[in-house]
Chain A
Amino acid sequence: MKGHTSFPAGRISQQDEWIPTICSICRSFCSIKAHVVNGVVVSVEGNPESPANLGKMCAKGKAQIMSLYDPNRPVVPLKRTNPEKGIGVDPKWTEITWEEALNTIAEKLKRIRQEDPRKLMLVSFDRSALSGVPSAFAAAFGTVNNSWGGYFCGNALHPSTYLTVGTHQQEVDLDYCNYLILFGNQLGFCGGQNPMSLTIKMGDALARGMKLVVVDPAGSHAAMKATEWVPIRPGTDGALAMGMLNILLNELGIYDADFLKRQSNAPYLTGPDGFFVRDASGKPLVWDVRGKEARPYDAGAPDVAIEGTYTVQGKVTRPAFQLLKEHLKTYTVDKVSEITTISPDTISRLAREYGEAARIGAKITLDGVELPYRPAAALYFRGAVGHKHGTLSSLAFQILNTVVGNKFMVGGYRALNLVGPGWNPNLDPEEFRQASETHMSCMPPVPWGPIQHRDGYIMSSQALTHRFPYPREELTPPDDLGLRDLYPLGLNLSPQVQITLMNPKKYGLPYEPEMLMVCRNNIMMAKGEPQGMAATLKRIPFIVTFSSEMDEVAEFADIVLPAPHQLERLDPFAQYTMGGLAAATGYWYWGIRQPVVPAPGQVRHWLEVLLELAYRTNFGEEMNRMLNVYFGLKAPYRLDPPGKYNYQEIGDRMAKNMFGMDHDLAWFKKNGLLKFKRTVYEAYPGPFITGRHLVYFEYFPELGNKVKALTDELKLDWDFSDYQPLPDWKPCPSFEKNSGEYDLIAVNYKLPTHAFSFTAENPWLDEISEHHPYAYKVLIHPDAARRKRLRDGDVVWVESQAGRTKGELKITETIHPEVVGIPGMFGSWAKGKPIAQGKGPHFNSVIGISPELIDPLSSSADCCVRVKVHKVT
């Protein structure tokens, strides 16, 4: 069962060569080169040709050579012989052939497809270009239950970015930014998009004098390198954003009125019912200052009002911005200080510094084009919004950027790839429309860009949209485990999947899952507390996992299929627009991941296996048709539906389909990547975008009404109170209940030397963690330690009402006094991970998953957890 204990016998290089490929440890996909000598990888280096990482690598990437030659890797298919499943229960594995494994799986797939295909669940967090294969597999098979991902990563962030800036992720223009606030976010510190190139740019920006403020309960790596660290009570970042907005708009009068008038819905007149006042054709009206009358928002009025009160159609109306300003008045600095524990002076200063640094009205000329210069930005991520009501907090952060007019402007806030290669403001509208609606997101020069909502808002190009349409406007009773029609704003409904799985009938689902296929997703460690997940998995009769290590999921599997290491995989065009290709790199680029050494034993790429299963299960023809659509394959590269293709052949067709005959897969294997520089319009589309940014979410209440109607129909007790047109800070459940003995709040943050759960098994990274003062530790403030009579080095339980985890105490002032810090994802318990087993605490063990503990808009799990800390006796 075990992997090679010596170097692999097979060779693909004769003597000595450097093979270009792409790292796959985190989701940032750095371009690398593997040094292969006589069939053995002796080193990996950053590819200096690639804008993705500018020739640099992080510790995780460098250390991957150790996991490649991990002697504990599974290299043959395994079958469980012990029917009992549970944490710590020995599956009693027996080796089987691929033929037996595939026959067993195919027979079950055939039966399930015949009975009800929705009984099949697919789970993966393996993001690379051809990972569209699982989607095509699911669509062809007929299951709506495709993927069961993270519980709190960007769950509450992504809706806010799609709703306001039309894309999945965010970044900042570090080349010109002078003032950056990171809320619960470590972008530029081996985190976020393009971590290597952005870390270099962050260093350069700090060296030239950019002020970096990190707002975080924990003294993360970003916080420790920042100009200023502002410790905050967990789960209250949204209140700080609202407080800063109040100061900017109502006290200091700092906002970009010109931007708000022309490029946001701030001027839209709003009636007493909270809805926009519209003309006969349904267009929202604005107040024409010169004409002194209401006109449609797109009628070209030279000056429109964003403040005041106007009588229109017999109603008292106010511009949306006026409503925002009034709404913010309740967020007084004293109140926000009480919520966040940040001093009133600091709150006021941060707001003023941020507003002044934005230099509203300033211009800069780049490449001969005069552009607005707004060198201030506020970025947020899981740390700030990974909790109940986190989506509302996310929207507050978006408005904090919008009011200073920095969206896609020089020095300001950018969202990832809102416009595509070739986009410019002079495009023929029809050409643009077709491009935005038809092409694939990784295609070479096709000018995708934002499309416009009927009310004038920015909407994501179809090329980038996660859900189509988004937000979902027409709701029907859901038939998927994520209940997506009950979360029309949600994008990742994974916590709800677990809740539904425990009682599908309650949610009106006429089926129960019978089979789960997992790849590269440690659903036991990466989600909520493990006992709850174990109970969930026990409800699924048959589990298959594609594994490159015998992890905590394998412990629950019926069949384990050996999966390759990233240096053994082919993944054409792994770098993609959703999770990388930041505009900060200055380029567009596409490259492939390729095997630099053969995989050991009987290891097979899981996507190749999915293809074979489709053919064996007699839906290969449908699968090929789906692949043609998902990959946008055109003649002569389309797959012939009755044909059988391997992964390599499909990759070659994709390459030629995208880049032409001259750039086939062989070209990419030799050259690694194709790149071209971004134009100034592609880097700074802000001034030229016609769609408007949102400061008022008029349609939210209506969506909430639709959810209410549907949940009433399904007789479900549901929370729709967050469907409100303006954001608010609302306390997490941790703040609502009497905390009693649970007097601290646990938080988790990333270390630059680890990603997800699987790097914990890497011996080099383990060694770093052993020497790291905070990794593998439970961090507590000296005041809290004194109160509890705890000492440095004590072994303690960190216990919530959901679960507990054990770790060694580290007393430090780099943590908020009310907080317990647990970095990384450690505390593995699988016997197949002898290096990681038992090392460090496992934060997710204290996360409870229940309807009361998830965000009602996004289903994000609440990471703001009350805990007690006591010594292990």
Chain B
Amino acid sequence: MISTDLLRSITAPFKAPRTKECQVEVVYTGLLRNATRTGGEEVRLPHGSTPLDLLHYLVAKYGQPFERQLWDKKGELQSTVRVFVDEVEWPYQRLAEEPLSGGRVILMVLLEQMSGGADPFIGGKNG
């Protein structure tokens, strides 16, 4: 889990120079598509922004329905969230560490079943 404190430290004033912008294409799937009512969009972020910065930007833009899919009340990222950058899944640790350099960011939220035993193949939280 990524704590609120860690998030704050990460999203505190960007250390990277802000002279350039980073442009990413964001793709929403499933529940996030519901929350944003769109399949995707172009987003411009300050240079050096990480995927976590992007998530914060989107939460600010789309509000509670979007936020509840991503974070729990403690400010920890839900383990159902998956983030792909240019088709490569980024582990949770990297979300706060590595800046984006453009490209396509795909955001997914997995679902649990309501009944009938666990999904035999469902994956756990990406390490």
Which A residues are closer than 8 A to B by beta carbons?
27, 116-118, 124-125, 127-132, 135, 138-142, 144-150, 158, 168, 433-434, 436-442, 461-469, 473-474, 476, 480-482, 484, 491-494, 497, 573, 576-579, 622, 625-626, 629-632, 638, 641
Contact = CB atoms under 8 A, between A and B. Distances in A.
Contact of A466 (B29, B80, B89, B112): B112
A132 B84 contact: no
Contact of A146 (B106, B113, B117, B120): B113
A464 B123 CA distance: 9
Most A CB contacts (10 A, CB to CB) among B79, B87, B116, B124 go to: B116
Given A474-B73, A629-B108, A641-B87, A438 B125 contact: yes
B82 A464 contact: no
A637 to B, nearest CB: 14
B115 A492 contact: yes
Interface in B84-127: 84, 87, 89, 106, 108-127
B29 A139 contact: yes
Contact of B114 (A128, A148, A438, A622): A148
Nearest to A618: B39
Contacts of B123: 438-440, 462, 629-630, 632
B30 interface: yes
A405 to B, nearest CB: 28
Contacts of B87: 638, 641
Given A147-B113, A480-B114, 19 more contacts: A129-B121, A135-B112, A139-B111, A140-B29, A142-B31, A144-B31, A145-B114, A146-B113, A148-B115, A168-B117, A434-B127, A440-B121, A461-B124, A468-B124, A473-B72, A484-B114, A622-B33, A625-B29, A626-B110
12 contacts: A129-B120, A130-B121, A147-B114, A437-B125, A437-B127, A438-B123, A440-B121, A466-B117, A474-B73, A492-B115, A622-B33, A638-B87
A849 B79 CA distance: 33
Q: Which 9 A-B pairs have the closest CB atoms?
A: A462-B124, A149-B115, A576-B120, A492-B115, A149-B116, A466-B118, A474-B72, A474-B73, A139-B111
Contact of A441 (B106, B121, B126): B121
Nearest to A472: B72
B94 to A, nearest CB: 14
Given A142-B31, A149-B116, A625-B29, A441 B111 contact: no
Given A147-B113, A150-B115, A437 B124 contact: yes
A305 to B, nearest CB: 33
B117 A626 contact: no
Contacts of B73: 474, 476
B74 interface: yes
Contact of B111 (A146, A434, A442): A146
A132 B123 CA distance: 10
Contacts of B119: 131-132, 135, 630
Interface string B15-38: 000000000000001110110000
Contacts of B30: 117, 138-142, 622, 626
Contacts of A468: 79-80, 112, 124-125
A441 B29 contact: no
Nearest to B118: A466
Contacts of A158: 117
Contacts of A440: 121-123
B84 A625 contact: yes
Contacts of B89: 629
Contacts of A465: 118, 124
Contacts, number: 160
A729 to B, nearest CB: 26
A538 to B, nearest CB: 21
Contact of A630 (B34, B79, B122): B122
Contacts of B113: 135, 146-147, 466
Nearest to A475: B73
Nearest to B116: A149
A168 to B, nearest CB: 6
Most A CB contacts (10 A, CB to CB) among B74, B82, B111 go to: B111
A123 to B, nearest CB: 9
A497 B116 CA distance: 14
Given A132-B122, A468-B80, A629-B123, A127 B29 contact: no
B36 to A, nearest CB: 11
Nearest to B34: A142
A149 B110 contact: no
Nearest to B87: A641
Nearest to A155: B115
Contacts of B31: 139, 142, 144
Nearest to A145: B114
Nearest to B35: A142
A120 B31 CA distance: 13
A441 B125 contact: no
Nearest to B37: A114
B65 to A, nearest CB: 9
Contacts of A491: 115
A630 B29 contact: no
Nearest to A434: B127
B89 to A, nearest CB: 8
Most B CB contacts (10 A, CB to CB) among A116, A128, A573, A625 go to: A625
A578 B118 contact: yes
Contact of A463 (B72, B124, B126): B124
Contacts of A577: 120
Given A148-B115, A149-B114, A482-B114, A433 B127 contact: yes
Contacts of B124: 436-439, 461-463, 465, 468
B59 to A, nearest CB: 15
B104 to A, nearest CB: 10
A590 to B, nearest CB: 11
A155 B47 CA distance: 51
B34 to A, nearest CB: 5
A130 B122 CA distance: 10
Contacts of B121: 129-130, 132, 440-442, 576, 630-632
A423 B46 CA distance: 45
A227 B86 CA distance: 63
Contacts of A129: 120-121
Nearest to A467: B112
B122 A138 contact: no
Contacts of B84: 625
Contacts of B29: 139-140, 622, 625-626
Nearest to A116: B34
B117 A127 contact: yes
A440 B112 CA distance: 14
A139 to B, nearest CB: 4
B48 to A, nearest CB: 27
Contacts of B34: 116-118, 142
A146 B114 contact: yes
A503 B29 CA distance: 29
